Amino acid sequence: MSINSNRDNNLMAEINVTPLVDVMLVLLIIFMVTAPLMMQGVDVNLPQTSSDPIQAGDDHLVVSIDKRQKIFLNDRPVELADLLGKLAVINRANPDQKVYLRADKNVAYGLVVRVMDGIKDAGFERLGVVTSPEECEEEQKASDAS
């Protein structure tokens, strides 16, 4: 009888982690499958240079111009007039914000200059131009052929 009374007085303080592990594995699989689908961007064929890459973080604004001369602000399409207004509002909120300009190498130079001028008129002092690293001639010919 004393054995049963001791057993009733002792509480079991263990946590069953098996359901938690199962849920975490399911979430991991879901994120692994959906993450590549979430990666969207503007297809821009950047000009190539031999300069060192710039480390850009998520807090930077990216203005992109694709080969069809459509303008994007952080992957969202905008018109040039709307872009300038949005940039002015952003600059008032955060004047130290960096802006990076990504333009397709086949875009007219005049449009790129107008966008750069608009960024400067919005009050941004820190403007970077995004390029891709130079490839050797054989790699470039192979990519142009495909």
pLDDT digits (tens, 9 = 90+) for 45-86: 656 666 555 555 556 788 888 888 888 988 888 898 888 888
71-73 and 61-65: which strand pairing? antiparallel
Token pair 């990216």: residue: 62
Task: Judge residue 115's burial from the number of C-beta atoms within 10 Å of its C-beta, 0-12 exposed, 13-18 middle, 19 or more buried.
Answer: buried
The verdict on pTM exceeding 0.75 is: no
Label residue 105 by pLDDT band (50, 70, 90): confident
Q: Which two tokens stand for residue 81?
A: 């007039």
Give the fold, CATH level 3, of 48-145: Nucleotidyltransferase; domain 5 (3.30.420)
Sequence ranges of the domains in the chain: 2-38, 48-145
